[in-house]
Amino acid sequence: MKQFFRIALLLLVLMVSGAVAESSVRYEGGAEEFVFLPGSTESDTDLFTSFKNVLPGDVLTQHITVENTSGKRIRLYLRADPVDESHRDFLSQLQLSVSCRDNSIFEAAASESAQLWRNIPLGTFRTSGKTELVVTLTVPVELNNTYMGAMGIIPWVFTADEIPTDDTPHTGDWFQLSTWLLLGAALLAVILTLIIVYRRCRV
């Protein structure tokens, strides 16, 4: 049986000066499922602290630790659902790239699902196993006042597949889709919504 748990992640105009808090996605299983940190006053699931008040010419990077603390072995996947049409124009101006363990898993306009149109494996994780997503947002220097105050929402879905204890040991192969996608048992998904806020720099 497939179960989908959806959370709307609100990332608005807040920008904390000084050091940016670390971001993480933690799979705990049980009633908790996924936990997102650091959160903000706008949303408990706010991960993208680096993507606030963006300006023309910005190239911003967000590091997101992905960790399994469930006590079970899991396979973890990520996909990007289609953006709402009301955000498509703004997001089409921006470039987004995502990598995992030095493997590029997404590189396209932020308005597109591109390589993430279906579940992409982030890896097989024993308990306490972790990896890191590196997300880079590029804002063109030509972006004009038309988009002042604009926000764009990108829906992300994390899916966890718990592996029976007698399953084949982990081989360390991160990108064998053909096997992993056929072995789905219980899918636990959370939609992340990334909101990018643009503000025009005033001279």
CATH of the domain at 95: 2.60.40
In-domain check, residue 80: yes
151: confidence class by pLDDT, cuts 50, 70, 90: confident
142/144 Cα distance (integer angstroms): 6
In-domain check, residue 168: no
Cross-strand partners of 195:
153
Q: How many Å separate Cα 71 from the centre of its chain?
A: 23
pLDDT tens readout for residues 33-51: 888 887 665 556 667 778 8
Cross-strand partners of 140:
none
- pLDDT reported for residue 59: 95
In-domain check, residue 22: yes
Cross-strand partners of 64:
23, 133
pLDDT of 28 higher than 80: yes
In-domain check, residue 169: no
In-domain check, residue 171: no
In-domain check, residue 172: no
- pLDDT reported for residue 98: 95
pLDDT tens readout for residues 4-20: 323 333 332 223 333 45
If you average pLDDT over residues 62-74, what whole number do you get?
A: 92
End-to-end CA distance of the chain: 56
Q: How many Å separate Cα 82 from the centre of its chain?
A: 14
Please tell me the total count of domains within the chain. 1
> pTM (2 decimals)?
0.71
- Using alpha carbons only, what angle is made at residue 13 by residues 188 and 85, rounded to the nearest 5 degrees? 60
31: confidence class by pLDDT, cuts 50, 70, 90: low
φ, ψ dihedrals at 171, nearest 5°: -95, -10
What are 119's two structure tokens? 């579940």
φ, ψ dihedrals at 123, nearest 5°: 140, 175
Structural domain span for residue 189: 3-163+180-197
152/133 Cα distance (integer angstroms): 20
φ, ψ dihedrals at 93, nearest 5°: -80, -15
In-domain check, residue 175: no
In-domain check, residue 131: yes
Say which residue the tokens 């049409």 belong to. 85
Q: What sign does the dihedral 104-53-140-192 (CA atoms) show?
A: positive
